[in-house]
Amino acid sequence: MSNLVDRVGATQNFNEEAFGRVKDEKEKTFNVKFGERLRKALEEIDTLQEDADKLSKELAIGHNAPLHETMIALEKADISLRLFIQVRNKVVEAYREVMHMQF
């Protein structure tokens, strides 16, 4: 009888370890994906800002930069930055809300 109890206990420990490992891997994957997405978004925003700056400088100098393309680039950069700031604000707000929860 004790042999059966030992087997059940060993199986339970194995399951807990296996499920815990899967949970940890999922959390790591989520964290990496979320962090990677944020990094890529920031890089894209930076690229849009650089493109807008380049076009506005060319327009100011008098090079052959179309006004409408310059304005579109500036607006894209502005909207992207505003959106990212709003997403950041929502993430911070959600984090604060979770931290204030009582379990």
Burial class of 52 by CB neighbour count within 10 A (0 to 12, 13 to 18, 19+): buried
| pLDDT range class, residue 63, cuts 50, 70, 90 | confident
Rounded to the nearest 10 degrees, what angle do helices 67-100 and 2-61 cross at?
150
Alpha carbon distance 48, 61 (integer Å): 20
Residue 12: is its pLDDT beyond 60?
no
Summarize pLDDT for 21-47 with one digit per residue, the tens: 555 666 666 666 877 888 899 999 999
Alpha carbon distance 19, 12 (integer Å): 10
Does the predicted TM-score (pTM) go above 0.75?
no
Per-domain boundaries in the chain: 2-100
Tokens 């920031």, residue? 42
Summarize pLDDT for 69-103 with one digit per residue, the tens: 999 999 999 999 999 999 999 999 999 999 988 76
